[in-house]
Structure 1
Amino acid sequence: MKDTLTFDQLPEAVTKMQEKLDNIEQLLLQRQEQSPEQEELMPITQAAAFLDLAIPTVYSKVCRKEIPVNKRGKRLYFYRSELTEWIKSGRKKTAEEIREEAVQHLAISNKKTKVF
């Protein structure tokens, strides 16, 4: 635990805190500037390369509505962020994660079934 600040130490502490806040603000601004680049639309060739799939495979996934897509005329476009989320949605849980969920579920169920 940190020592309590004295009145004389407050100006220095406030200065350090302001510097840290400025650094956090800069990091957030940099992150916001990077986000629009990820939101650029990709044609099917780039999307297939990003997913490491053959173009016909991407077309078949689009036809089966398995993959997020934007259509303009006869052209298909994909957002990188949507494809990334689509990939993440297919993540399989580890045995430990499943076990932890089961424990939490049982704990909640036991609380509901207790009679007071």
Structure 2
Amino acid sequence: MEQLQQITLETLPKAFMHLLDEVKELKTLLIQKNRQPQSTADQWFDLNELCNYHPDKPKPATVYGWVFASKIPVNKGGKKLRFLKSEIDEWLKQGRKMTLVESSLKAEQYLKNQ
């Protein structure tokens, strides 16, 4: 909202509603921030935690197949599989397909560099 230079009786309700909206937005942001984990340390997943975290909720047998085929980043501690959240997040992002616009821009950039 543009800054109100002068608040008059006519603009007072609009200014008041704007302030209420701003306070609600700030409150929502503070609540969201307080719900986020405060620790910046990376998180380790065991096999079941990974299955629950992964968006597709794969079965453990599927994850074992990915590990065997070296498709997923994994750390082994003895016989246990451990997965680092940051590595899993990066791995999941690599599977993202480009949008048509992104593909077009990439093709144009490639042709310009030729």
Could you say which TM-score interval applies, normalised by the shorter chain?
0.5 to 0.7
Long gaps (5+) in structure 1: 1-32, 110-116
**One-letter amino acid matched to 1:97:** E
User: Displacement, 1:35?
Assistant: 2.1
Q: Using structure 1 for the length normalisation, give the TM-score.
A: 0.61
User: Displacement, 1:106?
Assistant: 1.3
The one of 37, 42, 45 aligned to 1:42: 45
Q: Find the residue that maps to 1:71 and give its secondary structure.
A: strand
User: Displacement, 1:95?
Assistant: 1.0
Identity %: 35
1:62 correspondence with 2:71: no
User: Displacement, 1:105?
Assistant: 1.4
User: Displacement, 1:104?
Assistant: 1.2
* Cα separation, 2, equivalents of 1:64 and 1:86: 14
- The aligned counterpart of 2:13 is none
- The aligned counterpart of 1:11 is none
User: Displacement, 1:58?
Assistant: 0.6
- Structure number with the higher helix fraction is 1
- The aligned counterpart of 1:89 is 94
Moved over 6 A (4+): none
Q: Find the residue that maps to 2:52 and give its secondary structure.
A: helix
The one of 81, 100, 108 aligned to 2:105: 100
Q: Using structure 2 for the length normalisation, give the TM-score.
A: 0.62
* Cα separation, 2, equivalents of 1:94 and 1:81: 24
Q: Find the residue that maps to 2:40 and give its secondary structure.
A: helix
Counting matched residue pairs gives 77
